[in-house]
Amino acid sequence: MSNIVKVTLKDGAVREFPQGTTVAAVAEALSRKLAQHAVAGKLDGKMVGLTTPIEKDAELEILTFDDPEGREVYRHSSSHLLAQAVQRRFPGTKLGIGPAIENGFYYDFDAEHKFTPEDLEAIEKEMAHIVKADYPITRQEVSREEAIRFFEERGEMYKVELVKDLPEDAVISMYSQGDFVDLCAGPHLPSTGQIKAFKLMNLAGAYWRGSEKNKMLQRIYGTSFPKKAELDEHLRRIEEAKRRDHRRIGQELELYTILEEGPGFPFFFPKGMIIRNELENFWREEHARAGYREVRTPIILNRSLWERSGHWANYRENMYVTQIDEEDYCVKPMNCPGGMLVYKQAIHSYRDLPLRMGELGLVHRHEISGALHGLMRVRCFTQDDAHIFMTPGQIKDEIIGVIELIDRMYKTFGFAYHVELSTKPEKAMGSDEIWELATNSLEEALKAKGMDYKINPGDGAFYGPKIDFHLKDCIGRTWQCGTIQLDFQMPERFDLTYVGEDGQKHRPVMIHRVVFGSIERFIGILTEHYAGAFPTWLAPVQARVLPITDRHHEYAASVRSALAKQGVRVEVDGRNEKIGYKIREGQVQKIPYLLVVGDKEAENGAVAVRKRGEGDKGAMALDAFAAMILEEIAQKRNPEQ
């Protein structure tokens, strides 16, 4: 037997190492920098710790904190660090679960002591002691009986329950660090000393295993990073996100709100409606140019339609149901089935295809109250849907056309983005062959556009794979908005056909796609992206005229009238206040242009211009200012750009 193993690396290179060489030793051999940043490995596709020996020829990928899976290992180890510190500070505390989550980790505890924000500081100090001790983190596989006995002796009944619920053939492992032992599949970092920077963020309550029938536990949230500078930047972004919170800005700028009379159902005020209407107008202009025709379908349709579409079987828990004439009807959670019915109202030839139909359709979905969040997660929203019906030969070009449309629209707002290709989920309709064809079609279009993309396994819609667009805002957060879903299932279920060149009936292929996703959510994203300082074309008030004294009111009114006639959204601040106060108020309201008018301006037919973000720009002839702002609006530029 050879004592040499061949290791195939991510870049395809093959290296030879003595049998039993650890993942960490391979990283060290490849690069000292890589070894310093390595947190785990992926050996033949399986996640392993750095101390894992390589016993046979294998494929190996070294993971760092920059890799999502590596980040999860780092933060899962951080959750164990938290749990060990809590049990040291508060003896008798029982352990729930402690996973890594997006941007951090948490751990659930059953403790007699009620944790307070002050306790978090003490727990952090204990965590620092454990890090300094640099305990090795070791893995041990045990039998089901050994695991149950071990945790029963420690009074860890939640862990006992978890062990008993594991499948009969499950590998049961425990990880220890110093005096702390936890049930865990792993992997973890090699030692506690490798956790460099952490912060406990907040407290919450959480039912054991997510069921309100179970006991309420105490949850502590935290986050961690390999460098303090990265942690500091993360905390800075959190503070900036609070400053940009769309719920607060929406109230302050009188745009929109959520009221207790309608949780999850947004109210839009007149200024918010201006933003909404401008977005919808922009959507209509761009889609008309791209060859789309707009339709509208009913909000309520009968149950049989939703059974035919598959939504009743796959989405029932999210649908609102009512009865009309003793029959079940559903408030639509999606626009798609209505689009099918529109298509079926005429006989289509191959010459009619592709047929692109767009709809700004109001949909309703039942979200649990705990998931609701301002405009970001609501129970009714307008989807900017479109459904494209096409021949199989048109798939690639149509997908490329949608990608180009989405790209143009996102660039208008200054958004960068990345894309993910989501494949067949566990709960899905249709054969593997159809799914493979659909997935390959999406992938070919992405490659034809030369786009980088990430595979997101198992996250497709139940009727087809999809391309998701994730926007990056100005403080680095990402938001999933646009999507392109390729669907071979719905045309089959609704018996959609077209007459081909051979005179026979054929089945069209269908694309579902959105750009904004939800108009409401997109407005929330824009509010935070711009911190309420909307570009001039979107701003509810584009210019405000500020008369210095009462004798300038007449001229201010004439300025307002002249600009309004040309389509500028303009108002006059005629309050009996000092000009400095009026300027500050205009700045607080984030109005793009403040136009100060006094004796000189009235005499010369001018305005003294103050530009948001730049301050005093001096006097301009009214006609010149009008030409400038109208050009800015037409080009949809941000005045700060």
SS3 of 120-165: the string is HHHHHHHHHHHHHHCCECEEEEECHHHHHHHHHHCCCHHHHHHHHH
Burial class of residue 145 (count of CB atoms within 10 Å of its CB; 0-12, 13-18, 19+): exposed
Mean pLDDT for each consecutive 10-residue tract of the chain (641 residues)? 84 92 94 92 94 94 94 97 98 96 95 95 97 96 95 96 92 95 95 96 93 93 96 93 93 94 95 97 96 96 91 88 93 92 95 96 90 92 95 92 95 93 84 84 91 88 87 88 89 93 94 95 95 96 96 96 97 94 96 96 96 94 97 78 43
* 75 shares its domain with 60: no
The CATH number linked to 165 is 3.30.980.10
Residue ranges in 253-332 assigned as alpha helix (H): 270-289, 303-309, 311-315
Residue 126 counted as domain residue: yes
- What pTM does this model have? 0.81
From the list 230, 242, 252, 221, the residue with the least C-alpha distance to 124 is: 221
pLDDT computed for residue 641 by the predictor? 43
Q: What is the C-alpha to C-alpha distance for residues 321 and 468, in angstroms, rounded to an integer?
A: 29
Q: Give the burial class of 515: count Cβ atoms within 10 A of its Cβ; 0-12 exposed, 13-18 middle, 19 or more buried.
A: buried
CA distances from residue 185 to 49, 71, 170, 171 in whole angstroms, order as listed: 11, 16, 10, 8
Number of neighbours of residue 348 by Cβ within 10 angstroms: 16
Closest to 484 measured CA to CA, from 457, 454, 462, 511: 511
Do both 279 and 130 map to the same domain?
Answer: no
Query: Does some domain include residue 266?
Result: yes
Residues 514 and 606 in one domain: no
Residue 165 CB: number of other CB atoms within 10 A? 9
Distance between CA atoms of residues 80 and 49, nearest Å: 15
Out of 385, 468, 473, 487, which one is annotated catalytic? 385
Q: Using CB atoms within 10 Å of the CB of residue 492, give its burial: 0 to 12 exposed, 13 to 18 middle, 19+ buried.
A: middle
Question: Do 14 and 137 sit in the same domain of this protein?
Answer: no
| In a shared domain, residues 38 and 124 | no
Residue 374, domain member (yes or no): yes
In a domain, 501, yes or no: yes
Q: Helix or strand or coil: residue 465?
A: coil
- For residue 582, the domain's CATH number is 3.40.50.800
407 is catalytic: no
Do residues 280 and 538 lie in contact, with contact meaning Cβ atoms separated by under 8 Å?
A: no
Catalytic residue among 84, 218, 383, 485: 383
Do 393 and 423 share a domain, yes or no? yes
Is 302 within a domain?
no
Nearest CA-CA partner of 544 in 463, 640, 625: 625
Does residue 365 carry a catalytic annotation? yes
Q: Is 188 annotated as a binding residue?
A: no
State the catalytic residue, choosing from 466, 552, 582, 610: 466
Pick from 429, 439, 640, 464: nearest CA to 539: 640
Distance between start and end Cα atoms, the chain: 67
Residue 25: which domain range?
Answer: 4-64
User: Annotated catalytic residue: which of 512, 529, 544, 612?
Assistant: 512
Answer yes or no: 76 catalytic.
no
Please give the Cα distance from 604 to 623 (Å, whole number): 11
Q: Is 311 a catalytic residue?
A: no
Residue 512 labelled as part of a binding site: yes
In terms of DSSP H, where are the helices of 51-94?
68-89
Is 384 domain-assigned? yes
Query: Are 121 and 207 in a shared domain?
Result: yes
Closest CA to 298 of 357, 342, 234: 342
Q: How many domains does the chain have?
A: 4
DSSP 8-state symbol, 394: G
Other CB atoms closer than 10 Å to residue 221's CB: what's the count?
A: 19
From 184, 330, 336, 481, the catalytic residue? 336
Active site residue 385: yes
Residue holding tokens 């045990």? 142
The answer to whether residue 387 is catalytic is yes
Question: Torsion angle of alpha carbons 517, 520, 525, 528, nearest 10°?
Answer: 180
| Identity at 534, one-letter amino acid code | F
Q: What is the DSSP letter of 369?
A: G
Domain limit, last residue, from 41, 64, 87: 64
pLDDT at 1: 46
Structure tokens at 375: 């405009």
**Claim to verify: residue 129 and residue 205 sit in the same structural domain:** yes
* Widest pairwise Cα distance in the chain: 101
57 catalytically annotated: no
Same domain, 520 and 554: no
- Boundary-marking domain end, from 15, 33, 64: 64
Does residue 106 contact residue 79 with C-beta atoms inside 8 Å?
A: yes
Catalytic residue among 387, 529, 552, 582: 387
In order of 7, 34, 84, 355, 462, the CA distances from 15 in angstroms are: 5, 16, 39, 54, 42
Query: Please, which residues bridge with residue 523 across strands?
Result: none
DSSP strand pairing (172-177 vs 138-142): antiparallel
Domain-ending residue, one of 529, 558, 590 = 529
Cα–Cα distances (Å) from 70 to 33, 37, 477, 478, 485, in that order, read 16, 10, 20, 19, 30
Is 200 found in the same domain as 150?
yes
Paired with 62 in beta bridges are 41
Q: Identify the CATH number of the domain in which residue 30 sits.
A: 3.10.20.30
d(CA 230, CA 232): 5
What CATH number does residue 400 fall under? 3.30.930.10
Give the pLDDT score at 2: 61
Q: Is 134 left (phi over 0), alpha (psi -120 to 50) or beta?
A: left
**Residue 569: both structure tokens together:** 């959204």
Q: Which residues of 188-204 are buried (b: 16+ CB within 10 A; e: fewer)?
A: bbbbbebbebbbbbebe
Do 463 and 492 lie in one domain? The reply is yes
- Residue 351, domain member (yes or no): no
Q: Please indicate, yes or no, whether residues 147 and 76 belong to a single structural domain of this protein.
A: yes
Is residue 359 a part of any domain in this protein? no
